[in-house]
């Protein structure tokens, strides 16, 4: 999975051709997951965004006949909007430290928005994703959970950004070569 924890919410006014090229690459990729920010639920009434516009964000559809709109900062590029999406909202403790994350958010209409990590789980382990999504539907199931931070400096693999673009172009061997180095 390639995870873009970046909002693509505004068009590139200086290089619109770059947006078109990036959007074309995203359309060809099945591995990319993108971020969406959830605005306060009090803004839902002013929104027009529903599951129909961003189907890759919903872990579970609304249980009401007409899904309610949800206030979000959506991606502006069509291929990004059609890709797997997830919320990146942080849960900040009273002392200002981020220690918790939500796997998703249960909506008033019964729908469930998935977090970016849950969106990645969906593509890597569908059975685990289904189990976690069902847990989100339960009362209290969308409560934030403590993040298990790793303490070692090299606990996560690092991949050069240029290599990620090569993989997006279909050159899978790039990451295999990097892993051997």
DSSP 69-133: P--EE--SSHHHHTS-EEE---EE-TTS-EEEE-SEEE-TTS-EEEBHHHHHHHHH-HHHHHHHH
Question: Which has the minimum average pLDDT: 12-21, 26-35, 95-104, 144-153?
Answer: 144-153
Structure tokens at 132: 């976690």
Per residue in 46-60, pLDDT (tens digit) is 999 999 999 999 999
Q: What is the pLDDT of residue 29?
A: 87
Q: Which strand (E) or helix (H) includes residue 106?
A: strand 104-106
- Compute the average pLDDT of residues 136-165: 79
Mean pLDDT of 150-164: 74
Residue 175 is predicted with a pLDDT of 59
Dump pLDDT digits (tens) for 68-98: 999 999 999 999 999 999 999 988 889 988 8
Beta bridge partners of 34: 4, 85
Q: For residue 120, is pLDDT > 90?
A: yes
Confidence check: pLDDT of 67 > 60: yes
pLDDT of residue 8: 95
Positive or negative, the CA dihedral 30, 5, 87, 46 is negative
């Amino acid at each position: 999975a390639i995870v873009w924890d970046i909002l693509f919410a505004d068009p590139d006014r200086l290089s619109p051709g770059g947006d078109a090229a990036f959007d074309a690459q995203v359309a060809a990729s099945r591995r990319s997951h993108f971020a969406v920010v959830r605005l306060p639920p009090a803004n839902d009434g002013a929104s027009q965004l529903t599951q129909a516009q961003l189907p890759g964000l919903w872990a579970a559809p609304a249980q009401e006949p007409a899904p309610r709109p949800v206030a979000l900062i959506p991606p502006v590029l069509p291929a990004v909007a059609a890709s797997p999406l997830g919320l990146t909202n942080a849960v900040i403790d009273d002392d200002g430290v981020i220690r918790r994350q939500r796997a998703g958010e249960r909506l008033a209409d019964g729908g469930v928005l998935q977090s970016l990590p849950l969106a990645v789980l969906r593509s890597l382990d569908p059975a685990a994703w289904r189990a976690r999504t069902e847990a989100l539907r339960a009362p209290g199931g969308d409560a934030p959970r403590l993040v298990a931070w790793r303490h070692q400096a090299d606990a996560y693999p690092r991949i050069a950004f240029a290599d990620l673009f090569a993989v997006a172009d279909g050159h899978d061997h790039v990451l295999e070569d990097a892993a051997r180095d």
